[in-house]
């Protein structure tokens, strides 16, 4: 029997009390449409809009900024710059607008436009336990976000959520278990970040060939640069790869699911549909993203150029992919691109750009070495991303299981 099982058997064998969120927490402001008796304590904060925080952000700052988003690097400011807007405490946040998510922080901080809660009595409700429980309810909390543009939560619905409140010893044991899961995931994520830096460094080192001759892409490859009218879309058929689908190094089939009818595919075969191993590069929105074809039931839209080596004993297709992804070629491409906010490059210019072509044996050895790094850093099957995803699924499973309680029956 685990320590948690022992605590539950000893302290709450008949179930736990469920209490409304408003009776357990203090929030950052009084909300409209909510009885004042449900908000007896309010703790106000200064909310930094993005442009306002940009002015005081410092990479070497010691005051953490609680953003409203779900991605991006940690951001900081200094106590001197934030002044009286610095708050301190242990809090749980959801964003006032945008994508629903839950954050936890303990210490000194400043905040974006979050709705911020803290336990009224940490001997009754542990803040970290509240964070994990709200995380487990994120789909339900997300359903409270409404609006035609940027969605905002119905705080009445949030405050009326029924929170299971086991004895504090049980809460703290659950927090300890879930902290171990999240710490392991954080360690793996940090290792992945380090491996990606290592990958970038060594792949660019491996792609430097001081003695190799240079040839233009037009000389080396057969090219398809589709300029005609985009084929009619359909619900099924051949997958239409647009510039939106190309990511650096792979085709993202989930990003934009567009198809053209099979009959249209047959009619326009003369365009030269991609084959396995062909290399694709985008010319606009985004510009210079590179991927290699890994399935044959696809067609190309505008702004995606296909390169196929004319002679596989002169140029290896996967080597071409890595060269186009490399720092040297990407720098040349960026310099040649034109335009304002959305930069692009003409195919006619791209085809004249040159790449190094060492002996084919050197190309294949280079590909073998970079592939090893690539699988470790980027593979969703056997690399670190796969392990991180597995750990995240394991964490979510056990989190939801640990936070599922039987409600204690009320004696009549």
For residues 408-412, average pLDDT: 65
Domain of 50, CATH number, reads 3.90.220.20
Exposed/middle/buried for 212, CB within 10 Å: 0-12, 13-18, 19+?
Answer: middle
Looking at the fold, whether 18 and 161 belong to one and the same domain comes out as yes
Name the helix (H) or strand (E) containing 189: helix 168-206
**219 and 308: one domain?**
yes
Are both 23 and 126 inside the same structural domain?
yes
Looking at the structure, do residues 52 and 141 belong to the same domain, yes or no? Answer: yes
Does residue 154 share a domain with residue 55? yes
Could you say which of 166, 199, 223 is where a domain stops?
166
Domain, as residue range, for 263 = 213-357
- 65-69, 286-290, 339-343, 376-380 — which is least confidently predicted? 376-380
Q: How confident is the model at residue 218 (pLDDT cuts 50, 70, 90)?
A: very high
Kindly state whether residue 118 falls inside one of the protein's structural domains. Answer: yes
Decide if 371 contacts 316 (C-beta within 8 A).
no
Does residue 410 fall inside a structural domain?
A: no
Domain end: 314, 339, 357, which one?
A: 357
> What is the predicted pLDDT for the residue at 131?
96
State the average pLDDT for the chain. 87
* Interatomic CA distance for residues 107 and 90, integer angstroms: 6
- Residues pairing with 215 in the sheet: 355
Closest CA to 178 of 397, 12, 18: 397
CA–CA separation, 302 and 137 (whole Å): 42
Q: Is the pLDDT score of 194 beyond 90?
A: no
Q: Flag whether 82 is in a domain.
A: yes
Is 265 within a domain?
Answer: yes
CB neighbour list of residue 5: distance below 8 Å, 6 or more residues apart: none
Same domain, 280 and 148: no
Specify the pTM: 0.60
DSSP 210: T
User: Is residue 262 included in any domain, yes or no?
Assistant: yes
pLDDT of residue 380: 45
Q: What percent of the chain has a predicted confidence (pLDDT) above 90?
A: 56
- Per-residue pLDDT reduced to its tens digit, 323-375: 999 999 999 999 999 987 788 999 999 999 999 999 999 999 999 988 887 77
Are 304 and 217 members of one domain? Answer: yes
Residues near 295 by Cβ (< 8 Å), separated by ≥ 6? 239, 276
Instruction: Show which of 166, 187, 204 is a domain's final residue.
Output: 166
Is residue 247 domain-shared with residue 109, that is, in the same domain? no
Tell me the pLDDT tens digit for each residue of 366-403. 999 888 877 766 554 455 566 667 777 777 777 777 78
**CA of residue 193 relative to chain centroid, distance:** 13
| 237 and 349, same domain (yes or no) | yes
Tokens of 368: 């073998």
Whether residue 231 contacts residue 264, with contact meaning beta carbons closer than 8 Å, is answered with yes
**What is the CA 338 to chain-centroid distance, rounded?**
29
All residues at 6 or more sequence positions from 194 whose CB lies less than 8 Å from its CB, including other chains: none
In a domain, 192, yes or no: no
Shared-domain flag, residues 351 and 237 = yes
pLDDT at residue 267, as a whole number = 59
Q: Are residues 160 and 220 in the same domain?
A: no
Residue 184 inside a domain? The answer is no
Nearest CA to 77 out of 89, 66, 64 is that of 64
For the cut 60, the answer to whether the pLDDT of residue 270 exceeds it is no
Looking at the domain assignment, is residue 49 inside a domain?
A: yes
**Residue 299's pLDDT band (boundaries 50, 70, 90)?**
confident
- 227 shares a domain with 118: no
Domain count within the chain = 2
């Amino acid at each position: 029997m685990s320590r948690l099982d022992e605590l539950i058997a000893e302290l709450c064998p008949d179930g736990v009390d469920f209490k409304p969120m408003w009776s357990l927490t203090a929030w950052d402001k009084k909300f409209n449409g909510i009885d004042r008796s449900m908000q007896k304590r309010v703790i106000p904060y200064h909310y930094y809009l993005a442009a306002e925080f940009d002015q005081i952000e410092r990479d070497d700052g010691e005051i953490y900024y609680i953003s409203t988003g779900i991605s991006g690097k940690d951001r900081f400011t200094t106590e001197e710059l934030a002044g009286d807007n610095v708050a301190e405490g242990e809090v749980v946040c959801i964003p006032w607008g945008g994508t629903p998510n839950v954050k936890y922080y303990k210490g000194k901080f400043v905040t974006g436009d979050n709705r911020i809660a803290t336990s009224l009595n940490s001997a009754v409700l542990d803040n970290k336990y509240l964070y994990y429980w709200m995380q487990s309810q994120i789909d339900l909390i997300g359903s409270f976000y409404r609006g035609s543009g940027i969605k905002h939560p119905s705080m009445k619905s949030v405050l009326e959520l029924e929170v299971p409140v086991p004895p504090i010893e049980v809460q703290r044991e659950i927090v300890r278990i879930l902290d171990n899961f999240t710490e392991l995931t954080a360690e793996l994520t940090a290792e992945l970040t380090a491996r990606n830096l290592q990958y970038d460094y060594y792949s660019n080192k491996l792609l430097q060939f001081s003695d190799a001759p240079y040839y233009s892409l037009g000389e080396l490859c057969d090219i398809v640069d589709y300029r005609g009218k985009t084929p009619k879309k359909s619900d099924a058929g051949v997958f239409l790869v647009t510039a939106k689908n190309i990511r650096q190094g792979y085709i993202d089939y989930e990003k934009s699911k567009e198809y053209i009818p099979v009959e249209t595919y047959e009619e326009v075969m003369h365009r030269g549909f991609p084959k396995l191993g062909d290399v694709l590069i985008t010319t606009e929105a985004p510009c210079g993203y590179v991927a290699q074809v890994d399935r044959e039931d696809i067609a190309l839209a505008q702004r995606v150029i296909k390169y196929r080596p004319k002679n596989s004993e002169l140029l290896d297709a996967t080597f071409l992919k890595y060269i186009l992804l490399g720092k040297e070629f990407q720098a040349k491409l960026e310099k040649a691109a034109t335009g304002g906010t959305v930069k692009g490059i003409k195919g006619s210019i791209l085809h004249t750009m040159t790449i190094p072509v060492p002996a084919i044996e050197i190309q294949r050895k280079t590909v073998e070495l970079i592939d090893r790094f690539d699988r470790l850093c980027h593979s969703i099957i056997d690399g670190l991303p796969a392990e991180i995803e597995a750990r995240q699924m394991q964490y979510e499973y056990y989190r939801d299981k640990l936070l599922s309680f039987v409600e204690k029956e009320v004696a009549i």
